[in-house]
Structure 1
Amino acid sequence: MSIAYGPVRRAKDWDALLGDPDDPDVLFSYPRCLRLDDTEAFPDDICAHLDELGLPAYYVPVAHGGLLGNFDDAATMVRLIARRDLTVAIAHFKTFLGAAPVWVAGTTTQADDLAATVLAGHPIALGLTERGIGSDLLATRTVAEPGDEPGSLTITGEKWLINNGRRATVVTTLVRTSPNAGPRALSLLLVDRRLAGSGGMTGTAKIPTHGIRGADISGVRYAGAGVGPAGVVGGIGRGVDTLLRALQVTRIATTPLSLGAADQALRLGYDFCADRELYGGRLVDLPVVRRSLGRAAAALFVAEAAVLLGCRAINALPEELSVVAAVVKAFVPSVVDDLIHDVGELLGARAFLLDVLHGGRFQKVERDHRIVGIFDGSTAVNQNYLAGQFSRLGRRYRQRRLNRDGVAVAADLARPLPPLELHRLDVLSPNGCSVVQALPDLLADPVIVRTVPAALLAVLGDAVTELHDELAGWRVTGGALPAIAFDLARRYELCFASASCLLLWRYNYEHVTTELWHEAEWLLCALTLLAEWLGAEPDGAADDLFIRLGGRRPEPGWGPPMSIFPATLADLR
């Protein structure tokens, strides 16, 4: 017996509530979002509608009155919204990013109070960056000094390039509370616009942007804004520690934005190739086109697997999230950037035009998605953070240390996840990364050996062994990282993605009867692509896999054009 997988069932219900996205009379539709983008207008009405439907509840943990018990639900909802419009998804989802430090390190009273604010539909923002300092948070210049009341603080300074900077009711703000150097000089404060005092907190001008044109990318200026003792998150001097742990969650949580963008881009590519007449037939009938579509779909499979394992690891492997988050955030947006580029090659000039193909939706999604790779640390920032754990990862792999039960819970979609325990997050992972460290067992698993060609398993086995031999000998010498560190980080991301695909298939193939799982079609396409990315010579015979996949006619309805998720998870027991 099987039942619908909860996150997908709920997302289908939500999609029905939102209406047909192609209907211009529907509030949250493609045509309306294109008009808003053209005028650089904030999607106020759409965000208000999402509030009315109850989306903010998915940003608040169950313990504080919300619906966030696991990130399967939240990820699927974010992907659903992003599939319609990235600008709306980014504008609305920012509330979770701003609130996350409180869920991680706030007091019960802080969390309950902020939860009430979120559930009432008030936006929350995260104020980290400032003009001229980029990602160097230790150079923060915004200062908080003792106020008139005992324990109170007064803030002076400016945060710049802040999503919802002018609209947020509360801004979680990184400030300097000590003149000393180092992370202990910084603290996180909840600055409530309603309590900041007249003129103490004002929004700065919206910054014109190439993508997400309607989003409120602006800033916040503090001129004596007051914050009481209850506004300090995690304690004075604990801002960086709290932020690093919160970012582990938010970095993973932003990656479904990429999946939503990939869904829309790939759907546009499939539809165009199916409808376009060329050389006496349809474009999709050409093997070279089918191969390109199949490779793009396989890239989406890879990204989906990494996102799902990452999201479930938040509950199942929280101590290891410092590695998992850096890997998933560095990897997924870059994969989707390449996917969108490849689909654009199929569309040709239509990828750049405004009114020829579906009103110009492709050029919008291509522009909008570029920002996702920058959120909560760029690809390079996350790879740099991963490099700080290289030697530990190499040692833990050689020791074969892994949390087998945690991996099994994360991978088996029929098993319930344990409760969300964000207090267990650690700045550095004591165990390494169990998902990657499970690869040797997976590559020797009898079911996988019977399913995956030996040559493909050998490529993955050699890649993971050689990588960890290099990581085990890694030594930090100080100063700027050498270029090879970023190459090693990329190879680690590919090993994580390979393990994610194998884990999901191995733990769930018996539950699923859909076509993509028959004879492990999605798995073989994904692993073949990953093997190429790891440096294996392209296998001409593998082209048949991609050509067959690219020739599938996308299913109508809620599901994206090609995905291991919707049809699959709905069949899980």
Structure 2
Amino acid sequence: MKLEVPVNDSLTAGAGTSLTEGPPAGPRALRVPGDGPARARYVEDLLGDPFDAGNPHGQQALLAADERREVPSATEELLHRFGLAAEFVPRDLGGRLTGVEGLAQVLRPVFRRDVALGFGAGMTALFAASVVWTAGDERQRRDTALRLLGGGRFTILHREFAHANAILRGEYTARGAPGGGYVVDGRKEVVINADRADVFVSYVRTAPGDGPDSHSVFLLDTGRLPARAVRRLPRARTHGMRGAHYAGLELTHCPVPADALVGRQGEGVSLALRTFQVSRALVSGGALVGGMDSALRYAVRAAGESRRGLVLHGRRGRVLAGVFADLLACDSLAVAGLRLLDLAPEHALVPSAAVKYAVSALLHEDLDELAAVLGARGYERGPTYGGFQKLVRDLPVAGLGHAGTADTQAVLVPHLRTLAHTARSGEPGHEAPAALFTPGAEEAALDFRRLDAEPRDPHNGCDGL
């Protein structure tokens, strides 16, 4: 069954007919019908016209919450009643998640309006839960699904990287406890939703050194940890994503049960390499492309309302056309990366890093170009253009800035020689799946367990990319 609903597809469009008089009732929220595109239209209609001053989920309300450094509570509640968490739970566990291409479509209406809300109220939960979908046992998978579907909040505690920014700095260590289990100590000061999360999916050091078996992943349920050992640190002030709750978490001699371990001990680095493929693809195809779509619309509106109007062959017209072409290219690249995860996830390690690197670099340059087109309007705080300056602050945080670039380079660089040799030699290999580049291809389902931490031989993989 597909939903037939009117779509507010343009940020500058007038208000369309509402799908409902208000948010759907809670008991019905988890039974929203339709595939990914239909649910995306549903979310678009629920959020309404961004420029309607009376819309509680419009730009005026979202920007006011950002100025107060608060989550837009009405919109977060609307997404909760829609059942957004079900989008992050595989269908065989009671959720709606099949392929990540469809998930990116559902998330884009949120990211087009508020990047911080898309992370804080949504995608961070999948980044955390994807580790459980990839390597968790049946009990962990079932309990995680039930907790998410019941309104529980998950977040992720990353391990520290060499090029760490504040979000990635700091880590936790674990040692064996007498009688079984572990004792965990450590501190991180900038973690999204650390002051609100019920469960922390945590990358914890369990061995010295920087080898591939240095870290393990633990599912830390605050309800199972002693209150004396857990301290939530004050909320951190950030320049971007001001409405998101970035805070800290300190664990002191914290006893952790043995069954909190996800996968095998020492598997943390491998799990990061596997699950980050999903994160990179969704950040590219959801947050970055969705956010830049809005940024371009602000610039088109500014050019059209200027004294000279929009001159297609003028300087600003050429900039807008160039950014639009880049956005289409990035959208196509991101969709291919998302589809590859759904169709052949074991081959997605290098392509997902390439997609994230290319999309981030290109759209970062384009954001600067659009700022020049908006001129002084790019600094306005009102509902008409205020969303642009918010995007300028939020989008770099979405890509983790320099740390995000270093992360993708760390995956790509070791394989450049092999990839270049394969391309130059012209030796035959297997073609990529035809559905990868077929518009309107039937949606496939991502099997997280097929994600691989090692790149496949280009001769035996998807060298059609």
Q: TM-score range by the shorter chain?
A: 0.7 to 0.9
Match of 2:135 in 1: 105
Structure 2 counterpart of 1:267 = 297
State the distance in 1 between where 2:402 and 2:77 align: 25
1:120 has 2:146 as partner: no
The match for 1:320 is: 347
Which residue of the other structure, out of 306, 323, 336, is the alignment partner of 1:276?
306
TM-aligned CA distance change 1:426 to 1:61, over 3 Å: same
Q: Which amino acid aligns with 2:436?
A: A
Deviations 1:184-222 (A, max 9, x none): 131110111111111322221222111111111222111
Q: 1:68 to 1:275 in 2, by over 3 A?
A: same
Kindly, what percent of the aligned residue pairs are identical? 26
Over 3 Å counting, the alpha-carbon distance change for 1:288 and 1:51 in structure 2 is same
5+ long unaligned stretches in structure 2:
5-33
Q: What pairs with 1:456-471 in structure 2 (closer than 5 Å)? A: none
In the alignment, which residue of structure 1 is the partner of 2:30?
A: none
Richer in helix (by share): 1
1:144 aligns with 2:171: no
Matches within 5 A, 1:554-573: none
Within the alignment, does 1:28 sit opposite 2:39 as a pair? no
Q: Structure 1 129/424 Cα, relative in aligned 2: closer, same or farther at 3 Å? A: closer
Given the superposition, is the C-alpha separation of residues 231 and 292 from structure 1 closer, same or farther in structure 2, using an over 3 Å criterion?
same
Q: CA deviation at 1:395?
A: 3.9
Superposed CA deviations along residues 45-73 of structure 1, whole A, max 9, x for unmatched, are 42232111011111112222211110121
- Are the aligned partners of 2:347 and 2:462 in contact in 1 as well (CA < 8 Å)? no
Contact 2:170 2:187 (8 Å CA) reproduced: no
SS in 1 for 2:224: coil
Q: Who is 1:354 aligned against?
A: 381
Write the distance in 2 (CA, Å) between the matches of 1:131 and 1:236: 20
Q: Is 1:287 aligned to residue 319 of structure 2? A: no
Which structure has the greater CA radius of gyration? 1
SS of the residue 1:184 aligns to: coil
The 1:389/1:273 distance shift into structure 2, 3 A limit, reads: same
Look up the match of 1:311: 338
Partner of residue 200 from structure 1, selected from 225, 229, 238: 229
Preserved CA contact (<8 Å) 1:71 1:312: yes
Please state how far the C-alpha of 1:389 moved relative to its aligned partner: 1.2
- Which residue of 389, 397, 415 maps to 2:441? 415
Question: Aligned to 1:155, what secondary structure does the other structure show?
Answer: strand
Q: 1:383 aligns with which of 389, 409, 425?
A: 409
- Equivalence for 1:392: 418
| Alignment TM-score, normalising by the size of structure 2 | 0.86
Runs of 4+ with >6 A deviation: 135-140, 433-436
Q: Distance in 2 between matches of 1:317 and 1:48?
A: 35
The structure 2 residue matched to 1:258, chosen from 264, 272, 288, is 288
Pick closer, same or farther for the CA change 1:28–1:129 going to 2, 3 Å. farther
After TM superposition, the structure 1 = structure 2 runs for residues 480-559 of structure 1, keeping only pairs within 5 Å, are none
Residue pair 2:172, 2:205 contacting (<8 A) in 1 also: yes
Shift of 1:27: 2.9
Pair 1:237–1:139, CA change in 2 (3 A):
farther
Q: Structure 1 residue 184 and structure 2 residue 213: aligned?
A: yes
In structure 2, C-alpha distance between the alignment counterparts of 1:265 and 1:136, rounded to whole Å: 26
Q: TM-score, normalised by structure 1?
A: 0.70
- Give the superposition deviation at 1:226: 2.9
The residue type paired with residue 369 of structure 1 is L
Equivalence for 1:65: 94
Shift in CA distance, 109/419, structure 1 to aligned 2, threshold 3 Å: same
Amino acid at match of 1:15: E
Please report how far the alpha carbon of residue 431 of structure 1 lies from its aligned counterpart in structure 2 after TM superposition.
3.4
Question: SS of the residue aligned with 2:440?
Answer: coil
Alpha-carbon distance, 1:80 to partner: 1.4
The CA deviation at 1:324 is 1.1
**Equivalent residue, structure 2, for 1:465:** none
**Residue aligning to 2:9:** none
Distance in 1 (CA, whole Å) between partners of 2:279 and 2:58 is: 27
Distance 1:36 1:98 in 2: 26
Name 1:86's counterpart in structure 2: 115
2:201 maps to which of 169, 172, 181: 172
Question: Is this contact kept in 2: 1:131–1:160, CA < 8 A?
Answer: no
Separation (CA, whole Å) in 2 of partners of 1:396 and 1:431: 10
1:368 paired to 2:368: no
Question: What corresponds to 1:479 in structure 2?
Answer: none
Please tell me the root mean square deviation across aligned C-alpha atoms, in Å: 2.8
Instruction: Mark the CA change 1:345 to 1:435 in structure 2 (over 3 Å): closer, same or farther.
Output: farther
The count of residues paired between Structure 1 and Structure 2 equals 432
> Structure 1 unaligned runs (5+)?
439-495, 497-573
Q: Could you say if the C-alpha distance between residues 337 and 141 of structure 1 is closer, same or farther in structure 2, counting changes exceeding 3 Å?
A: closer
Maintained 8 Å contact 1:407/1:434: no
Partner residue of 2:328 out of 301, 322, 328: 301
Report if aligned partners of 1:393, 1:433 keep a CA contact under 8 Å in 2.
Answer: no
Does the 8 Å CA contact 1:327/1:382 hold for their aligned counterparts?
A: yes
3-state SS of the aligned residue for 2:398? coil
AA partner of residue 371 (structure 2) = G
Alignment check: 8 A CA contact 1:277 1:283 kept: no
Q: State the distance in 2 between where 1:181 and 1:132 align.
A: 10
| Letter aligned with residue 144 of structure 1 | A
Deviations 1:527-560 (A, max 9, x none): xxxxxxxxxxxxxxxxxxxxxxxxxxxxxxxxxx
CA gap of 1:6–1:417, structure 2 versus 1, over 3 A, is closer
TM-superposed CA distance for 1:399, in Å, is 5.3
Distance 1:137 1:317 in 2: 31
Determine if the alignment matches structure 1 residue 338 to structure 2 residue 368: no
The structural deviation recorded for 1:179 is 3.8
Contact kept, 8 Å, 1:251 with 1:376, in 2: the verdict is no
CA deviation profile, 1:462-513 (whole Å, cap 9, x unmatched):
xxxxxxxxxxxxxxxxxxxxxxxxxxxxxxxxxx6xxxxxxxxxxxxxxxxx
Matches of 1:277 and 1:60, distance apart in 2: 50
Q: Cα distance 1:308–1:402, how it changes in 2: closer, same or farther (>3 A)?
A: farther
What is the identity, as a one-letter code, of the residue corresponding to 1:330? Y
CA shift in 2, pair 1:50/1:395, >3 Å? same
Q: CA deviation at 1:39?
A: 1.0
Residue aligning to 1:134:
164
* Residue 147 of structure 1: how far off its partner (Å): 3.2
SS in structure 1 opposite 2:213? helix
Contact 1:410 1:417 in 2 (8 A): no
